[in-house]
Amino acid sequence: MKILLLEDNHRLNTTIVKRLEAKGNKVDAFEDGKKAYEAIDNGYMCFILDINVPSLDGIEILKKIRDFYHETPVIIISSSVELEVIRDAYSYGCNDFIKKPFFIDELEIKIEKLCNIRNDIVSLGHDCSFDFQASLLRIGTLEEHLSRKERLLLNVLITEKSKVVSFDKIQAMVWEGNFASLDSIRSLMRRLRKKIPFECIETVVDVGYILRY
């Protein structure tokens, strides 16, 4: 999972990055608000924002994030417990608030809860299942190893089961904010479909895809 972290305390910033990367996440860390602001459209699945940082505060960044990501979890961390500050954070769309000092374990738990990080095995029917933890597609006794992008794509489809997943969302989540042409997205989908031995992914013309099982 790709995470943006904004924390101007260098020691805390480094500690958070080490813990989250040890869990297999990719973390882009910033200590300056303006630099974080310039990076928010790079396909993040979670934002962790300190409020009082140089150049541009976390609340202003939160407002801009909601222009790009309406549902992506945003966790605010702050030493301030002023009611007005907390009210502003929630009114502008933060999902949770952690007061400093805090245990990194608490932050990890909130990320896992808000981002619906799964470690289970999901049955797709027809004796086919996807193991989130091992990133394996199992068909009977056979195992298909998925590439990183194939895994991210299937992950998004399963998480959004029975909902249309737009091309824009696939680009943001699978290409992690980098540009992807429609041909690239369709090519990836063709490769994934070849590994699933039955039809369960429908194309919604000019919009995206939907998983039904």
The pLDDT score that the predictor gives to residue 187 is 97
Number of compact structural domains in the chain: 2
Reported pTM? 0.66
Please say whether the beta carbons of 153 and 189 come within 8 A.
yes
For residue 188, what pLDDT is reported? 97
pLDDT at residue 16 is higher than 90: yes
Do 106 and 174 sit in the same domain of this protein?
no
> What's phi and psi for 198, nearest 5 deg?
-155, 165
The tens digit of pLDDT for each residue in 143-159 reads 988 888 998 899 889 88
Residue 1: what pLDDT? 82
> Are residues 152 and 74 part of one domain?
no
Domain identity same for 127 and 107: no
Average pLDDT, the chain: 89
Phi, psi of 212, rounded to the nearest 5 degrees: -130, 130
Last residue of a domain, one of 114, 147, 177: 114
For the stretch 100-151, pLDDT in tens is: 889 999 999 899 888 866 667 889 888 899 988 777 899 988 898 888 899 8
Residues 179, 151 share a domain:
yes
Provide the token pair at 126.
Answer: 């027809």
184 versus 122: the higher-pLDDT residue is 184
| Residues 159 and 101 occupy one common structural domain | no
Considering the domain architecture, whether residues 105 and 138 belong to the same structural domain is answered as no
Q: How far apart, in whole angstroms, are the C-alpha atoms of residue 85 and residue 2?
A: 27
State yes or no: pLDDT of 164 exceeds 80: yes
Range name among 53-67, 121-135, 194-208 with the lowest pLDDT average? 121-135
pLDDT of amino acid 56: 92
pLDDT of residue 15: 96
Q: Pick the most confident of 79-83, 119-123, 159-163.
A: 159-163
- Same domain? 45 vs 17: yes
Q: Is 89 exposed, middle or buried (0-12, 13-18, 19+ CB in 10 A)?
A: buried
What CATH number has the domain bearing residue 110?
Answer: 3.40.50.2300
Query: What percentage of residues in the chain have a pLDDT greater than 70?
Result: 97
Domain span at residue 108?
2-114
pLDDT value of residue 41: 82
Give the whole-number percent of the chain exceeding pLDDT 90: 52
> Which of 62, 94, 114 is the endpoint of a domain?
114
**In this structure, are 125 and 103 located in the same domain?**
no
At 132, the amino acid letter reads: F
Q: How far apart are CA 137 and CA 5, in angstroms?
A: 32
Q: Which residue has the higher pLDDT, 187 or 152?
A: 187
Say what the pLDDT of residue 131 is. Answer: 87
